[in-house]
Structure 1
Amino acid sequence: MTELGAAEHRFIEAMGLLFERQGGTRIGGRMQALLMLADEPLSLKRIAELLKVSAASVSTNIRASMAMGLVEPVSVPGDRQHYYVINAEGYEGRLRTAEESLKAFIRVCRSAMATPQLSGKHHLREATEFCEFYLAEMAGIAERWRASRAARPARTSKASKGRTA
């Protein structure tokens, strides 16, 4: 990946701000965007150069992105540096995390409603019913996505050539 153009910079900055609004770090969002744009695996050093940030910040944020399942390390034959790419299954992982979060929220609300003092609280019941409805609507989304993805013709990109996980 060579230098970034204006459109790439706008996307990268927008993603950084989005991540920050959602409780993440701006640099984490910027790195995610950069890796989404990259046609090849990027090293920590190259990520830092392109984003004009410190290598330490990239290292810290790449570990967080890996822990969330958004990024994965790959090796480049003949090169000992660490390289990173977008984890294509990472989006499903985020969906599962969101589902688990909703389920935990429902458990806490149901537990509260089980106590006599809180059993009649309208907002607890509404929140629980909404989350249960939402989960029911989300059921099967990942499976339908995988099926639609499998039905598409295989695509190869520069990023998938010559790399190993």
Structure 2
Amino acid sequence: MTDRHTQWQTAERLALTLTEGGMQRMAARTLAVFLFTDQETVTAGEIVERLDASAGAVSSAIKSLLSVGLIERLPAPGSRREHFRLRDDAWATLFTGQNTIIDAMLQVASEGVSVTGDDDPAHQRLAQMHAFYEFLRGEIPALLHRWQERNG
């Protein structure tokens, strides 16, 4: 078993990877707290302490994670603080949310195809891009269904 310091170093590396993948830095670090906590729920104040960050930055990160469906707010009877936890279906929810990105890529590729001629190399590249994202969008429902069957 590893000690908490080693776990937190791993959490920070995970946050760095998420940041390199496009997630905002504080949202990535906050997500790492949810992944590595040994508590059932976490408050914003606990995240502020863990990350030695400002309350405003953590609040924004929590809003971001809530908006994409990675975390959820829970009632905490007897507590004046809001409690949050990582959703059980966080990764499937996040992946489903990526459909907006796929749809945006499809739209821009379609626009590009329509403004380029058939003999233009850009037309061919954009048509291939469109075909790829169309294929990906069509595969997502079956992929998520198989995931739910496997983990349901």
TM-score by length of 1: 0.77
1:36 paired residue number: 35
Q: State the 1:60 CA deviation.
A: 1.5
Aligned to 2:60: 60
Percent sequence identity is 21
- Give the secondary structure class of the aligned counterpart of 1:81: coil
* Residue 48 of structure 1: how far off its partner (Å): 0.9
Q: What's 1:143 paired with?
A: 145
Residue of structure 2 in register with 1:82 after alignment = 82
What is the number of equivalent residue pairs in this alignment? 146
Contact 1:112 1:119 in 2 (8 A): no
C-alpha separation in 1, matches of 2:47 and 2:137: 37
Return the offset for 1:122.
1.6
Counterpart amino acid of residue 143 in structure 1: H
- Distance apart, 1:19 and its partner CA: 2.6
Asked if the contact 1:73–1:83 (Cα under 8 Å) also holds between the matched residues in 2, the reply is yes
Within 2, Cα distance between the matches of 1:97 and 1:78?
34
Gaps of 5+ in 1: 151-165
Cα distance in 2 between the residues matched to 1:141 and 1:130: 16
State how far apart, in whole Å, the 1-side matches of 2:7 and 2:25 are.
16
Higher share of residues assigned helix? 2
Higher RCO, Cα 8 Å, sep 6+: 1
Task: Tell me the equivalent position of 1:11.
Answer: 10
Question: Shift of residue 132 of structure 1?
Answer: 2.5
1:27 maps to a residue whose letter is M
Compute the displacement of 1:135 (Å).
3.0
**Conserved? CA contact 2:45–2:55, under 8 Å:** yes
Residue 113 of structure 1 deviates from its aligned partner by 1.9
* Counterpart residue type for residue 128 of structure 1: H
Task: Give the whole-Å Cα distance in 2 for the aligned partners of 1:30 and 1:112.
Answer: 37
TM-score w.r.t. length of structure 2: 0.83
- Unmatched 5+ stretches in structure 2: none
